[in-house]
Amino acid sequence: MENDLVIPRHIAIIMDGNGRWAQKHSLERCEGHRMGAEALKKLIENMRDLPEVKYMTFYAFSTENWKRSEEEVSALMHLLVEFLDMNLSIFMKNDLRLLVTGRLEGMPEEPRSKLKEAIEKTKDNKGLCVIIALNYGGRSEIADAAKAIARKAACGELDPEKVDEKLFAEYLYNPQVPDPDLLIRTSGELRLSNFLLWEISYSEIYVTDTLWPDFDKNELMEAIKSFNKRSRRFGGR
C-alpha cells in the first residue's frame, strides 16, 4: 500500500502545541519548545526514506509571536541558535538544504548570523530543502512583495499593467519554491494563524490533535495517507 502512495512534493507544517505538551507533562513552556526542536530534528533526519518530498516548510515563529513574554521569546531564539549549532552536521550528512522564509532582518543578530552561515554552508546540498519560517507572517510577505513591486513601478522599471499572479509570486520570499501540496497543523486548532496565505490557495489541509513534540514520521505517514484520499480538482472538473 505504502509503495502506491502519491507523495506530496512540498509539505508545510504549523508546529503547534509545545505549550500544551509542557503543561500535560507539568513542565515549563520552554521545555515544550525544547522537545519541539527535538521532534523537528528527528523528523528531518527520518525524511531520507521519503526522497519524493523535496521541500518542507516549518512554521517556527510568527510575526505575532513577539507578543509573548520576553522570557519565552528569548528562550525560543536561544533554542534556534542551539538547533543550528547542534544540527548543521545532520544537514550535511543527510544532504539537506536550509532556507528561511520571513523577515530575517527583524531577527536578533545571533540567530540571524547563524542562519546566514547555515544557509550558505548547505546551499549546494541536493536533498530535502528544509525551510524554516521565522518572523514570518503571510500578510507581511504579501505586503513586502507589493512594496517591492510598487518601488519598481514608481521608478519606471516595471509597467503596472504587467502585474499579474505569476509576476506577483516572483516577489514572494522564496519564489523558486513550489506551493505546498499538503498543509499540516498539529494540536487541533482549525486556523491558519497567518501562515503562507498566498501559497496555500490549493493545498490540502490535515489537522491532527497530536501535539507537535509527539509528532513523528508515523504521524506524517498518516497525513500522507489522508492526502491520498483527496481529489484535488483545482477548480476544474
Binding site for ligand IPE (CB under 6 A): 14-20, 59-62, 65, 76, 187, 189, 191, 193
Stretch that binds Mg ion, among 12-20, 173-181, 213-221, 222-230 (CB under 5 A): 12-20
In the set 46, 65, 125, 228, the catalytic residue is: 65
Residue nearest to ligand IPE (CB): 19
Q: How many angstroms separate the CA atoms of 174 and 101, rounded? A: 7
Choose the contact partner of 207 out of Mg ion, ligand IPE, none; CB within 5 to 8 A by kind. none
Catalytic residue among 3, 4, 16, 85: 16
Which grid coordinates belong to 9? 512534493
Residue 65 falls in the annotated catalytic set: yes
- Is the Cα dihedral 206, 177, 129, 51 positive or negative? positive
- In the complex, minimum distance from the CB of residue 208 to ligand IPE, in angstroms, rounded to a whole number: 14
Q: Are 18 and 37 in contact (CB under 8 A)?
A: no
Among residues 16, 181, 199, 219, the one that binds Mg ion under rule CB under 5 A: 16
CB atoms within 10 A of CB 142: 15
User: In this structure, what C-alpha cell is assigned to residue 50?
Assistant: 521519503
User: Quick one: 8 or 138, whose CB is closer to ligand IPE?
Assistant: 138
* Residue 226 buriedness (CB in 10 A; 0-12 / 13-18 / 19+): middle
41/86 Cα distance (integer angstroms): 10
18 noted as active-site residue? no
Q: By CB under 5 A, name the binding residues for Mg ion.
A: 16
Write out the catalytic residue numbers.
Answer: 16, 65
